[in-house]
Amino acid sequence: MSSELLQFLLSGITVGAIYALVGLGFSIIYNASHVINFAQGEFVMIGGMGTVFIASAGAPFPIAMIGAVLLAVVIGISLQKLAIERARHASVVTIIIITIGASIFLRGLAGVIWNRDFHSLPAFSGEQPIHVAGAVIVPQSLWILGVTVAVAVALFVFFNRTMIGKAMLGTAHNPFAAKLVGINTNNILILSFALAAALGAIGGILIAPMAPTHYQVGIMLGLKGFSAAIVGGLGSGPGAMVGGLLVGIAEALAAGYISSNYKDVVAFVIILLVLFFMPSGLFGSRASERV
């Protein structure tokens, strides 16, 4: 493998890991409620900006990070309770508009309450690049990959080893049966928003030392995360991970080999092609309509 290709892949995987975290959030909420939460990107912003501002108030970074994740979780739960739950019976488009409204609201609030400047977090463990076979990788990339893998493993354990995790999965697969075995599906819904918010916020904190955070950082990351979730197949956890990496790598390779002007176009064309040939994404369930 040429060092150039390796460099592109490393870049793609790093960015893709963040997309994957955001995409996972989309999938978890979709599973629990069949809602596409277009405010998912704002959790990323709250993660980064929240850490910056809690830290600037004097808290040590680890505390600030936890605080920011908690803040995102609280906002996620409020979003569910105050907006989504009240519009339970509305159409898909209506709910999409509600979540878009929520994202404009949150972004606006962040711009006013915090500010509209760019902010950086210090890298978790220095910025000394590491050389691998002619390519370089920064420690923060390793943090991103490590945490993403850890989150993936944690989610795997959560969904496969804990009762509450299994209950979430069960509710996603068959909400009717879930009610019959005594699962409080309302709580599962709240939990899914909390979890999705936390994942977004973690993504936002991880990326902030590499790319300065900003009150609008959630827009594009949210969009890319949505793409990841769709390409992977809505509702599929592994799908969102693979989708995120795919989008990230496609972007990096397109920028490297095709045209950096049109790298996003290449990424979206790939997404469209995937959908044309697999209308439910890579890992999506192919439900057939009953008549």
Partner 1 sequence: MKGATVASRYGGVFVLAVIVAVLPWFLPNSFYFDVVINSGIAAIVCVGLNLLIGYAGQISLGHAGFFALGAYSSAILTDNLGWPPIVSLGSGLLVVALLAFAIARPILRLKGHYLAMATLGMGIIISIVLNQEVDLTGGPDGMPVSSFSLLGQEVDSELGWYWIVGGSLIITVWLALNLIDSAVGRALRAVHGSEVAAQVAGVDTTRYKILIFVVSAVLAAYAGSLFAHYTGFLTPSEGSFFRSIEFVTMVVLGGMASVFGSVIGAAILTALPQFLTVFHDYEHVMFGLVMMLTMIFMPKGLLPSLRNWINKRTS
Partner 2 sequence: MLLEIKGLSSSYGRIQALRDININVAQGEIVALVGANGAGKSTLLKIISGVQPVTDGSVYFDGIDITRASSHRRVRLGIAQVPEGRQMFSPMSVEDNLMLGAYTRKRQEIKSSLERCYTMFPQLRERKRQTAGTLSGGEQQMLAIGRALMAVPRLLLLDEPSMGLAPLIAQQILKTASSLKDANVTIFLVEQNAHAALSLSDRGYVLESGEVVMSDSGQNLLNNEQIKSAYLGS
Partner 3 sequence: MNFVRYICTLIAGAALALCSFIGIAVADTIKIGSFLAVTGPASFLGDPEKKTLELYVDKINEQGGINGKQVELTLYDTGLDAKEAVTFVKRLISEDQVDIIVGGTTTGETMAVLKEIEKAGIPFISLAGASVIIDPPKKWVFKTPHTDAMAVGMVYNDMKKEGISKIGLIAGAGGFDKSCMKNAQALAEGAGISIAIAETYGKGDNDMTPQLTKIKNAGVDATLFCGFGGPSSIVTKNYAQLGIEGPLYHTHGSCSKGFIKGAGDAANGVRLPCAALLVADQLPDDDPQKTIGMDYIKAYTDKYGSDVSTFGGHAYDALFIAVEALTKAGTTDKAKVRDAIEATENFIGVDGIFNMSESDHMGLSLDSFKMLEVENGNWKYLY
Residues that bind partner 2 (CB under 8 A): 160, 163, 166-167, 169-170, 173-174, 176-184
- Alpha-carbon distance of 74 to 260, in angstroms, equals 39
53 contacts which partner out of partner 1, partner 2, partner 3, none, CB within 5 to 8 A by kind?
Answer: none
Contact 247, 22 (CB under 8 A): no
Distances (CA, A) of 25 to 130, 132, 176: 31, 32, 23
Q: Which is nearer to partner 1, 70 or 223 (CB)?
A: 223
- With binding defined as CB under 8 A, does residue 115 bind partner 3? yes
Task: Report what 106 binds from partner 3, partner 2, partner 1, none; CB cut-off 5-8 Å by kind.
Answer: partner 1
Q: Report the interface residues with partner 1, using CB under 8 A.
A: 30, 36, 83, 86-87, 89-98, 100-109, 111-112, 223, 226-227, 230, 234, 261-262, 264-265, 268-269, 271-272, 275-276, 279-281, 289, 291
d(CA 121, CA 245): 24
Which of partner 1, partner 2, partner 3, none sits in contact with 255, Cβ below 5 to 8 A by type? partner 3
Angstrom distance (rounded) from CA 250 to CA 281: 16
Q: In angstroms, what is the minimal distance from the CB of 129 to partner 1? A: 31
Site membership for partner 3, residue 118 (CB under 8 A)? yes
| Span of 27-35, 121-129, 158-166, 238-246 interacting with partner 3 by CB under 8 A | 121-129
User: With respect to partner 2, which residue has the nearer C-beta, 170 or 203?
Assistant: 170
Instruction: Name every residue whose Cβ is closer than 8 Å to that of residue 250 and which is 6 or more positions away in sequence.
Output: 12, 266, 267, 270
Based on CB atoms, which residue is closest to partner 3, 96 or 223?
A: 223
C-beta of 209 vs 239, nearer to partner 2: 239
The binder of 62, among partner 3, partner 1, partner 2, none, by C-beta within 5 to 8 A per type, is: none
Distance CA 109, CA 104 (A): 8
* Window 69-108: contact mask with partner 3 (x via CB under 8 A): ---------------------------------------x
Per-position x/- string for 126-155, each x denoting binding to partner 3 as judged by CB under 8 A, each - no binding: -x-x------x-x-----------------
From the list 147-155, 156-164, 219-227, 274-282, the region that binds partner 3 by CB under 8 A is 219-227
Q: How far is the CB of 163 from partner 2 (least distance, A)?
A: 6
Beta pairing partners, 124: 126
Report the nearest approach of partner 1 to the CB of residue 127 (Å).
31
